[in-house]
């Protein structure tokens, strides 16, 4: 699930990037070369070992991961259990990274690595030549979904927000483009490209669980308010496309199973904040269900739970929406005032 690939190599523009950026790009290139020599059966295990090593080495990220797990699961997981889940989480994403860098070696045999459980649900959503908004979170292996669907004959356009290091971003999108689907980049006017793809009957794949720092709308996730992006809702509303939720679960090394679930459509005239909140809450409820079942499959390394900033003014509709979904008053989830935080 992704964006447009740039064919420009990092070697073409050394003067525009810092030493660190060029070094990171070289490391990615070296990893690709080394993984190409590794038997495919060893790729996941090698990545898992790297992930466990990083779990020990990256203290700040490890603390963030453990803190997220504590907030999400509370007393349901002991400190020892949270540590074990966090370690498995790093191993999972280390494996995912190496699997992604090895994807070009899967040409012609992707069906061995990702199995789609219920493609008839996707086929039904595409009846009449309609496009499909396929939403998911940073769970399982989202990077295999779009190439897997493209290999199965489905027209897929991925959306990628982009990395700060555009050299590495270009390398990643080159891999995505080589796997037979079209990525659309945010830095290249992504929304218009996504609408065109939907109106042409394509499937667009979106990861919709990250923190949104601009327009603030909040829904509940593990009993915490999380800001959500309006993009999937607006794309479905403006295009009239069907909406599906998808998740992938690791079955064994370098093998995943993907499942589709239909979500209620969005009426073209619907544009109230309440409609957006209900749309996003349905997706987050399904994601929470899946994360509870497989907590090590979720990307806990980023700062998922954040207090609502003082400068953000919640609408009355959003306040009422959260009131019945949080374990306490909405104000208790706000960022403390400066005087309070100093005290």
Q: Are 198 and 134 in contact (CB under 8 A)?
A: no
Q: Are 275 and 117 in contact (CB under 8 A)?
A: no
Q: What is the DSSP string of 121-182?
A: HHHHHTGGG--EEEEE-SBS-GGGHHHHHHHTT--EEEEE---SSHHHHHHHHHHHHHTT-E
| Amino acid 182: pLDDT | 67
| Amino acid 80: pLDDT | 98
| Amino acid 3: pLDDT | 38
- How far is the C-alpha of 204 from the C-alpha of 210, rounded, in Å? 17
User: First-to-last CA distance in the chain?
Assistant: 44
The verdict on domain 10-306+315-328 having CATH code 2.40.40 is no
- How far is the C-alpha of 14 from the C-alpha of 17, rounded, in Å? 6
Closest CA to 118 of 319, 228, 261: 261
CA 222-223-229 angle, 5° bins: 75
SS3 302: coil
173: left (phi over 0), alpha (psi -120 to 50) or beta: alpha
Averages of pLDDT over runs of 10 residues in the chain (343 residues) are 40 66 94 95 97 96 97 97 98 97 93 96 92 96 93 87 84 87 66 88 92 86 95 92 96 97 84 90 98 98 93 94 94 80 49
| Amino acid 332: pLDDT | 95
Q: How many CA atoms are closer than 13 Å to the CA of 246, on its beta-carbon side? A: 32
What pTM was computed for the model?
Answer: 0.90
Q: Are 159 and 184 in contact (CB under 8 A)?
A: yes
| Amino acid 324: pLDDT | 87
Tokens representing residue 343 in the block: 């005290």
CA 79-83-87 angle, 5° bins: 170
Tokens representing residue 76 in the block: 């349901």
Strand pairing class (218-221; 224-227): antiparallel
């Amino acid at each position: 699930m992704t964006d447009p690939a740039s064919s420009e190599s990092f070697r073409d523009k050394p003067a525009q990037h810092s030493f660190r950026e060029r070094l990171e790009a070289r490391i990615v290139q070296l990893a690709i070369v080394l993984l190409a020599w590794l038997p495919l059966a060893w790729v996941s295990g090698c990545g898992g070992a790297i992930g466990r090593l990083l779990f020990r080495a990256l203290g700040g990220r490890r603390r963030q991961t453990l803190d997220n797990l504590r907030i999400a699961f509370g007393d349901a997981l002991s400190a020892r259990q949270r540590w074990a889940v966090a370690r498995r989480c790093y191993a999972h994403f280390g494996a995912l990274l190496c699997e992604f860098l090895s994807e070009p070696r899967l040409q012609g045999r992707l069906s061995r690595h990702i199995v789609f459980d219920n493609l008839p649900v996707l086929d039904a959503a595409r009846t009449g030549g309609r496009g499909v908004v396929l939403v998911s979170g940073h769970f399982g292996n989202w990077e295999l979904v779009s190439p897997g669907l493209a290999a199965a004959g489905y027209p897929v356009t991925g959306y990628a927000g982009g990395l700060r290091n555009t050299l590495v971003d270009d390398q990643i999108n080159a891999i995505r483009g080589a796997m037979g689907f079209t990525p659309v980049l945010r830095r290249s006017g992504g929304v218009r490209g996504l609408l065109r793809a939907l109106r042409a009957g394509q499937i667009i794949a979106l990861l919709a669980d990250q923190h949104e720092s601009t327009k603030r709308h909040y829904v509940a996730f593990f009993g915490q308010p999380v800001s959500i992006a309006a993009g999937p809702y607006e794309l479905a509303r403006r295009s009239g496309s069907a909406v599906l939720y998808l998740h992938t679960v690791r079955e064994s090394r370098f093998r995943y199973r993907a499942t589709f679930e239909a979500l209620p459509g969005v009426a073209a005239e619907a544009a109230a904040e309440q409609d957006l909140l209900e749309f996003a809450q349905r997706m987050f409820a399904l994601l929470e269900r899946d994360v509870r079942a497989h907590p090590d499959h979720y990307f806990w390394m980023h700062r998922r739970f954040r207090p609502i900033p003082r400068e953000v003014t919640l609408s009355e509709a959003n306040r009422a929406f959260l009131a019945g979904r949080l374990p306490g008053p909405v104000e208790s989830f706000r960022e403390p005032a400066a005087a309070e935080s100093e005290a």
